[in-house]
Amino acid sequence: MDVDTFAGMRVTEIWRHPVKSMGGESLLECDVTDLGLVGDRGWGVLDLETGLTLTGRRTPELLMASARLAGGDVVITLPDGNEIGEGDDDALSAWLKRDVSLRSASLEATGRYENPMDVDNESDWIEWNGPEGTFHDSTRSRFTLVSTTTLRNWDIRRFRTNIVVDGSGEDEFVGGRITLGSGRDRIVAQVTKRVDRCIMVTRPQPGIEADRSVLTTLRDEADMCLSVGCLVDEPGRVALGGAVSR
């Protein structure tokens, strides 16, 4: 893909997901550090019995809640409309019917995650450690990006992707660097990988029905991948309308 092909791409949506696997918030702009969008995956729900950070793969109830930031504090809206935050572990545990604790990310700890190798039968689960300082579950990604063409008519909320750009061809960015925006509203990122998808994208969420065909389509047409993962080379700010360039 040459420069003229994607130089017209612009940022059309920005999404931050403060709590791992919960719904997030749509933004007009967001500061970006080497850990990704500020506040994104800044919290995770720890299962106190297993030591695992819960995700929508094993605990689909998480997908029915949402989270936002208010003055730097995380606010979780539960399915019944009640709002809770850090320190409300009893309410969180009662909702999930297990002993859990809402933990903020730190450079001294990593999340531990699991995923089924056999997504059709949700069996043969494997475990691994994520990066320090964030509850992203890949050490090769601090934010994700997808184009409107690749997204098709699927709801962006299925995939918890951070940035949507218009056009197509983001897979061609893998292995290179891209710039989003210019001037003060600018970041530079290394595009490290295509993002492989799991059973979570098929599960129901508020306003979204369960749909197994999403994963079938990705398996048949896109090697189970949708969006690309990025590491931040030059922090800054991303804003709607920012141009995509090399």
pLDDT at 246: 85
Mean pLDDT (the chain, rounded): 94
- pLDDT tens-digit series, residues 62-72: 999 999 999 99
| 107-111, 116-120, 156-160, 196-200: range with lowest mean pLDDT | 116-120
pLDDT at 5: 40
Answer whether residue 4 shows pLDDT above 70: no
DSSP 54: P
Answer whether residue 122 shows pLDDT above 80: no
The strand pairing partners of 39, in sequence order, are none
Locate the domains of the chain by residue range: 3-245
Helix (H, G, I), strand (E, B) or coil at 49: coil
Strands 100-104 and 43-47: antiparallel
Q: How confident is the model at residue 87 (pLDDT cuts 50, 70, 90)?
A: very high
What's the distance, CA 226 to chain centroid? 12
The third-level CATH classification (topology) of the domain covering 3-245 is M1 Pyruvate Kinase; Domain 3 (2.40.33)
Cα within 13 Å of Cα(35), Cβ side: 18
Complete DSSP assignment for 31-49: EEETTEETTTT-EEEEETT
pLDDT at 174: 97
Answer whether residue 6 shows pLDDT above 90: no
Share above pLDDT 70 across residues of the chain, in percent, rounded to a whole number:
97
d(CA 29, CA 24): 14
The total of other beta-carbon atoms located within 10 Å of residue 34's CB is 12
Mean pLDDT over 8-23 rounds to: 96
Q: What are phi and psi of 27, to 5 degrees?
A: -120, 155
Mean pLDDT over 158-187 rounds to: 95
